[in-house]
Amino acid sequence: MASMLPPNITPEEADLLISETKRLALSILHEHPDLHYYQGFHDVCYVFLSVLGADEAFAVLNKIVPERFSSFMQKSMDATSEMLQLVFDLLEMTSPDIWSRLQNLQLEPFFTLSWVLTWFTHVLSNSNDIHRLYDLFLATDSIMLIYLSVSVIVCSTVELKSTSDDFGELHHALTHLPMKHEVEKLIACAFLLYQNFGPDKLFERAELRRSRNGNPATANKRDKIILRRVLSLDFFYASADRICQSMPFGKMVIVSACVVAAGVVLRRFF
């Protein structure tokens, strides 16, 4: 969350903002005891807090969290996993070549996890872009989050072609795709996808995918294993990125190379 704070504020002001964000998140969880905290929820809370102030942020979040975020706040990741699978269901219809490549590499759609859980807050650094996407998601159906996620992939053909098939490297590249494109371009693409491949078609494809999977219990167990791998890699790379940002360029290059190598090693254990 520290990277989201306004520049040039004092340490005391930063501590105050962090404390207010934690207080807001805890207040929402207190109002909805059936929901559970997930990593990234405080990022969402901070966006509303920074725009609306504490009181209005609480009022808005108290209303929309049960409607827009409750799937991510269950005891299990089953609902989240199923929502992420919709990304690949839509990708299969819109860009079968990209979908086939990722399938052949056994790379599941969990690289979009931070996009979905934080409404892209975790991967975008420009606050105006983040606010624009929040406006979009608040003004449209909740499924628009899936269409925006797929639009990021569809708009990234060049970036994907220039990335190797190494699991760790490709996952890292996919995770950071949103910051490589103008937000308005992604939104326009998402609306086009929504128009051509509406929710009815998407849900039909999801049913087809479930029937192909055969044993739901086996598929669910596999998804949980992959989620554990992805969460570990995301935490590793996010921590490394924060370290690199505070280093001189020369040291940053060396550390970045070590990060890539260590990521490959880490992948072997998950």
CATH number of the domain to which 214 belongs: 1.10.472.80
Q: Which of 73, 93, 126 is the endpoint of a domain?
A: 73
Tell whether 247 is covered by a domain: no
CATH number of the domain to which 54 belongs: 1.10.8.1310
Q: Which of 23, 46, 73 is the endpoint of a domain?
A: 73
Residue 177 clears pLDDT 70, i.e. is over it: yes
Residues 213 and 109 in one domain: yes
Instruction: Measure Cα distances from 104 to 89, 97, 153, 182 in Å.
Output: 15, 11, 17, 29
Burial of residue 241, with CB atoms counted within 10 A of its CB: 0-12 exposed, 13-18 middle, 19 or more buried = middle
Radius of gyration of the chain, Cα coordinates, nearest whole angstrom? 19
More confident residue, 212 or 85: 85
Residues 102 and 204 in one domain: yes
The first and second tokens of residue 162, run together, are: 């220039």
Q: What is the Cα–Cα distance from 77 to 110, expressed in whole angstroms?
A: 11
Residues 153 and 47 in one domain: no
The first and second tokens of residue 137, run together, are: 């998601």
Residues 5 and 85 in one domain: no
HSE-up of residue 72 (Cα within 13 Å, Cβ side): 21
* pLDDT band at 215; cut points 50, 70, 90: low
Residue-wise pLDDT for 220-270, tens only, equals 444 444 444 444 445 444 444 544 444 454 544 444 444 444 454 444 334
Residue 2 clears pLDDT 90, i.e. is over it: no
pLDDT of residue 265: 40
Tell whether 58 is covered by a domain: yes
Q: What is the Cα–Cα distance from 117 to 45, expressed in whole angstroms?
A: 12
Residue-wise pLDDT for 19-71, tens only, equals 999 999 999 999 999 999 999 999 999 999 999 999 999 999 999 999 999 99
Residues 118 and 136 in one domain: yes
Domain residue limits at 17: 1-73
Residue 145 clears pLDDT 60, i.e. is over it: yes
Residue 5 clears pLDDT 90, i.e. is over it: no
Residues 42 and 170 in one domain: no
Residue-wise pLDDT for 66-122, tens only, equals 999 999 999 999 999 999 999 999 999 999 999 999 999 999 999 999 999 999 999
Tell whether 180 is covered by a domain: yes
Residue 203 clears pLDDT 80, i.e. is over it: yes
- Give the chain's domain count: 2
Residues 160 and 216 in one domain: yes
Residues 106 and 222 in one domain: yes
* Mean pLDDT (the chain, rounded): 84
Residues 11 and 65 in one domain: yes
Residues 20 and 153 in one domain: no
pLDDT of residue 45: 98
Residues 52 and 102 in one domain: no
Q: Which segments of 32-143 does DSSP mark as H helices, in order?
A: 41-52, 54-64, 78-94, 96-104, 113-118, 127-139
pLDDT of residue 27: 98
Residues 64 and 88 in one domain: no
